[in-house]
Every structure is written in C-alpha cells, then in structure tokens.
Amino acid sequence: MPFSRCLHCCLPFFLAGLLPSILPAAESRPNVLFIAIDDLNDWTGFLGGHPDVKTPHMDRLAAQGVSFGNAHCQAPICMPSRASLLTGTYPHRNGIYVIEQNYHDAPLLKEAVTLPQHFKSNGYRTLGCGKIYHRANDHLDGRDWDAYQPGKGWMWLKEIVGPKGVSGLPDPSIFDFGPVNVEPSQMGDWEVTDWAIERLREKQDAPFFLAVGLITPHLPHYTPQSFFEAYPEDQISLPNILAGDLDDLPPMGRKFTRYFDSTPMSHHNITRHGLWHKAVASYLACATFTDTCVGRLLGALEESPYADNTIIVLWSDHGFHLGEKMHWEKRSLWERSTRVPLVFAGPGITARGRTCARPVGLIDIYPTLIDLCHLPKPNSDQLQGHSLTPLLSDPDAKWNHPVLTTHHPGNHAIRTERWRYIRYANGDEELYDHDSDPNEFYNLAKSKAHTEIIQELRTALPPSCADYAPRLPRQKFTQEFDWFSPD
C-alpha cells in the first residue's frame, strides 16, 4: 500500500487517539452548581459585613474554595445585573439598565449566547430552578434549559400576610418585613432547593449545569418565626451611620438617596416608626434562611456521586442598603449596593480557604466557568469580563482590572483595591479611600491632594453608553425618577 494511502487510512484513528488529550471527554468535564441569590449584600460571616449575621454554610463553602472580598455587580438592580452576568456584557454596552426591559429585546444582544445556552450547546445538560433570569418567561426559552422548575416568586406570601403586613409600617405594600406563620418547607426557596436536590440524586448521563435561584432576601423580608427568633431586636447592631454623612455629597449623590422618599421604605419613615432594628433583624433572618437552603444543597452534593467533580459558584446579583447614607434597598453606586458575595469551590480551584482582595465583577463569572470547564468562548468579542482562573490559584496574582458598575446611562462607579470613584451623568463626582474609610463617610472628590487619583480613575470610565434597549411599562413597585438631573 502506498505510504500516502496508508496515512490517509490511518489518520482518522491517529486523530481519534489524540482527541481525548485535546478536548476533554464529556464524562470527565466538571459539573457546575450555580447558586444565584437575590439582594444579598455582604452580610455574611465570611465577608464580615455585619457582626451579628449567622451564615455557617456559606462560610463553610468559602473555606473550601476562594472567596472574593472585593466583588461587585455591574448594575445595582436585578434585570441589568443578571443580563450582564448571563451574557458577559456590560450594561453600557448592551443597553439593559432597568427592571422594565427584556434582555432578548436588546438589539445589541440579538446574537449573544447566554451562559446556560453555551453550556447546553457544548454537551451539558442544563437544569434550572427558581430565579436565574429576572423574568419568569425568560426561563422558558428552550435554548437555555433542558429542564426548568419555576419557583413561587417573591409576592406569594403577601397573599397570606394580607395588606396590613407584619412590619408595623402603615400601608407597607412590598416594603414589609418580619416573621410569618409558615413552615420552612412552605417557603418558595425551600421548594426550589428540594427540586435541585432531586436532580443531584438522579443519575446524569452527561455533565450538568445546575442553576439554583434563591429569591430571599428580596423584599418583602419574610421568614418563618424560628429564623427571626435567632435575631432578638434589642440585641441587633444597626449599620454604622455618620451624622451629616450626606453633607459632602454632590447634588446627584444626595438625589440618589431620595429614590424611596415617597414609599414606606424611606429612612425617615422607618426610623420615625421605630422599626429600624426590626428591619435589620428581618434582613439578617432572611440571610440565615437562605444560608440554610445553601447548606441543604451542599449537603446533597456531598452525598451524591458528583461531589468530587462539581464546580460550585455562589453569587448575589447586587447589594442592599439598610439605612447607610439614609438610603434603603439598592439603586445606588456606593459599596453597600454594589458589593456582593462571590465564591468558587471545587475542581480547578487550588487556593482553597483563601480570600482574594482583587476587584472583580459578576461579569467575570461567564469567562471563568468556561475556562474551568474547558469550553471554547462563544465568539471572539462577546465576553467583556476577565477569567478569574489566575486568582483561583493565586489570589495575590497581579490584576489590573478595575470593576465598573453602572446605574442608568452616564452614572458609573469604578472600584479598585483601594478606591471607589463615582461619576454621575451630570459630572458630579465622589471619591472614597477604602484603606482609611471603609464606610465611605468622607467624599474626597474636591480634595486637591487627590486630583491625580481622580484623573487616573476617570480613564476607566466608558467613553459612551448605549441607548436604552426597548422599555416596558413602569412596574407597580418602581418610582418615577430622573437619574440624570439633581433638580
């Protein structure tokens, strides 16, 4: 047989022998347990955001992997934050800025491949439950999920509680908090966790991407009584507050604190009714309830055949104010609204038990997971974040990527390891030194000694912002507000 013909005949077998070393076999690829939490700020034990919080299960996960102590969302509100994470694109690039938008209506995302879609197209079985995308109908897209189980949402308990609520606030609507007379097993997140646990007990014939979306501590802040009892109101520490904290804010900064002034959840309303301690206790109870759900997931994984071959990533979509800067909820560009829990654990994460202080964003999750799972990039220019894999082996590795957070076009925060710089759409500025001022009490933007720092941080601002993608009618629980003028 001529050599050329022999080579032609043997080449397929030769390549077949090489392929396992080039592309990992499907059964050898790690699984992914993707735990999404709604509205959880840094009030966890491993982040030290509140002295009274009890989150033993998340703390245990952090001890088993790498936790990021300086992780931030790309938008301080659900829809744009999740759209950014799940497409790997920035809000100022994709045009998703508010709740009243659908990510798939954005012209700049028409060709985007979502994170679960990318795993599905690369041989993974994609399983989702609870809140992963912001809208329930986004979960029903067959491109993303092989199976999906919706949860109860975040308003079903209002039907049990009734219009008077449990907080003591007059006409609380969604802005309610306190214990409710239900069993833990009746809670929507508990049921979502049950569904995910059943998937972990099943035999999976392909590597899986299992996404579990826990809604608590989204408003209303309800938990079963037993969780609330763990936080006696008279023993709860309130957030650190500085008298006159708003005095050195520029006009736009002060305006951001007024978003909830016309609602029951304004700082003045909560304090004049003497409910600040109860509100903080309710949020802490919600954090502990969510931690219990996380613990049930981790326990089920440890008892499953997949314990040694599953990457776990836990994250929250944005932070939450409870009176800091006299502000409540999210929708700000300060630390309390942007800092989030982010933990990676499992195969490929070698710096276990370490905390990384480098500034990272939720936008970095997509490229990190496809690196850890040896998947190709969706295309050459979609992903705008950075893979965190260097930091998962060496949390002190060199890292020159400031974090960008955007709230409506032109309003941006830049976070480095030391500094937070905010520039509003009208040109107003704030600067905080986290080495000496972790509570962001002292705005240094007008200090001549910090002129060069501000000039350097300005270079990280995006040069332009995409227009709003198509918008839906304003929702019942959002306020009419001008985010561009201090008047």
Residue type, 248: D
- From the list 78, 356, 373, 465, the catalytic residue is 78
Residue 134 falls in the annotated catalytic set: yes
Query: Is the distance from CB of 177 to CB of 278 less than 8 angstroms?
Result: yes
Give the largest Cα separation in the chain, rounded.
94
Active site residue 78: yes
Rounded CA-CA distance 32/47 in Å is 23
Catalytic residue among 50, 72, 118, 134: 134
Angle (CA) 38 167 51, round 5°: 55
- The catalytic residues are 78, 134
